[in-house]
Structure 1
Amino acid sequence: MVILEACSAAAEASHAAVTDGTVEGAERDAAIATYKAAESVIGHLMSQLYFGSGAHANNRDAAVGLMSVDTMRGFLVDYRPMLELLVASHEPSTHHHLVELYEFLIPGDPAGVFDALHALLTGPAAREGYHHESLAAPVIVRMITRYIADHRSIFEDETRRFALVEILRLFSDVGWPDALKLLYELPDLLR
């Protein structure tokens, strides 16, 4: 957490300095180098969580990472502060690994993971254009399809239903056909 907090603060400060135009010349170059170094460490830490959790394993039956719903739930509780810092990244690659980690962790807390996913996708990930990435739409459509099939009851809450539509609109407005199709089928799927 100490490393992640320091890198997050450095990345945020250097990103702000470069994007708001308050630095020029050598100072700007130094801010860019600081940003790249900090985000590199943040990306590495994200990878450690992603691979360490077992989210990368194609074979979910493999004996790697978090093996039960209880361990997933515990992971979400224990690493919540770290996951919240990772959300603030400015890099779509970090956001993508975080989305895939959340997909893996759905059984541990379906409602909590959906809420975290919504905050990520409509906040920092949208700011950085994650929804334009070709790898993003298939993962999001797969996750939402899974949510509707396995955890439909969480969408009885009107706020969460609105969040679901907001996510699908974000991806369908870019023109991803699977997201658009799912958005149109949503009323029937939630019956």
Structure 2
Amino acid sequence: RPWRRGAAAGARRSLPGPLSRRVLNHMLSALGAVAAGLTPERIALALVAVASVRLLLAFVPALLHGGISLGLFRERERMATAPQSEPEEEIPDYPEAEKADFSLEALRAFDGSDSSKPLLVGCKSNIYDMAKGKDFYGKGGPYNCFAGRDASVALAKMAFNEEYLAADWENYKMSQSESDILDDWEKKFATKYPLVGKILK
């Protein structure tokens, strides 16, 4: 009958695959049995059943995909938090720096790449010996890019771009919040690391 042909066509379009076809065949058989009574109540009940099953099947792929995605996320999280074996490259120790002033160009030689030389970082034209902070500022550390430079602008912006690493902090226009952040860094350095010199202009 017309309404049966329309329902079957709509179901076939939205339920591809062997499982969906089997479910569809069962639904159509049940629908035909119900429709044989030709009562409006039974016809309405059959249509509701078809719509409910189609809606349920539409959510199955999403539920499966969500479960797989969650499983992968948890596995990545477990691997990220699992204790690591040994670091690929141990950060070296650095000798203590003697008090001395350096130009910006001369300061570049103390960037941590040579473990026979002190590890130095400049902040607001002051030079600090970062040997105690080698895990952060030494070769392979997360802040190693600040070593061997006056990193004031990069510290204020917490950025690692060469543009900011090479910027002259005295001539760079900072926002108030950036100036406050830079002051905090200077206080931290002055508290934790020896002041060993000044940057010559």
Task: Specify the TM-score bucket, using the shorter chain as the normaliser.
Answer: under 0.3
Q: What TM-score, normalized to structure 2?
A: 0.26
Q: Which structure shows the bigger proportion of residues in helix conformation?
A: 1
Q: What TM-score, normalized to structure 1?
A: 0.27
Q: Which structure shows the bigger proportion of residues in strand conformation?
A: 2
